[in-house]
Chain A
Amino acid sequence: AQTVTQSQPEMSVQEAETVTLSCTYDTSESDYYLFWYKQPPSRQMILVIRQEAYKQQNATENRFSVNFQKAAKSFSLKISDSQLGDAAMYFCARSNTGNQFYFGTGTSLTVIP
């Protein structure tokens, strides 16, 4: 099954603290990309970070980093020094060689001042 699972429907974090959002996926392919998207209340879908499956090094983008465990099919997102503007819905996604994308059900992140 081509599924992406986000087991945390809601998460909260204190401002300036660190939070980790979980994501697991299922695939039999070896060549794929993984993504985290952010959807703030404005509803615009914004790419936060991406990871090529063939790369062992974890991707980082400023305060955002991932922990990519290919064998375990796990792709978690860590947000450091959380800011109020990080409050949003976060979606984990995977693409395959057929240009198909699979999205998780999302995690709603609340940042507490």
Chain B
Amino acid sequence: DTAVSQTPKYLVTQMGNDKSIKCEQNLGHDTMYWYKQDSKKFLKIMFSYNNKELIINETVPNRFSPKSPDKAHLNLHINSLELGDSAVYFCASSHFKNEQFFGPGTRLTVL
């Protein structure tokens, strides 16, 4: 009964490739998020999305794009991967301003 799931948990790929990370939540939450956690453990918000609004962190390169087929899913697409994209990516969901529930994270390694 995983609340927020992400696939894959590990992703190793070459520079220049395009990849996707999938996220699903079964909590009935209205808002989903993507975070990037770098090697210093800083959590950086990339996107937040509900059925009304997509909010993009302006510092996120446009190679990153969220895709939401429905309220329970928010996938992350990354084009033309770069070395600096290596990080752990977390999906999360929340109901209004209540606590966020996080997925297990996806460790992306770009070679």
Contacts and interface: CB of A to CB of B under 8 A. Distances in A.
Nearest to A106: B41
B43 interface: yes
Contact of A99 (B42, B43, B48, B101): B48
Interface in A54-99: 89, 91, 93, 95-99
Contacts, number: 59
Nearest to B49: A99
Interface string B79-109: 0000000001010101011111110110000
Contact of A96 (B33, B41, B43, B97): B97
Contacts of B48: 99-101
Interface residues of A, number: 25
A97 B99 contact: no
Contacts of A11: none
Contacts of A97: 96-97
Contacts of B99: 33, 35, 47, 50, 95
B43 A91 contact: yes
B88 A43 contact: yes
B105 A99 contact: no
A91 B45 CA distance: 14
Contacts of A99: 30-31, 48, 50, 94, 96-97
A45 B41 CA distance: 12
Interface of A: 31-33, 35, 37, 39, 43-45, 47, 50, 89, 91, 93, 95-101, 103, 105-106, 108
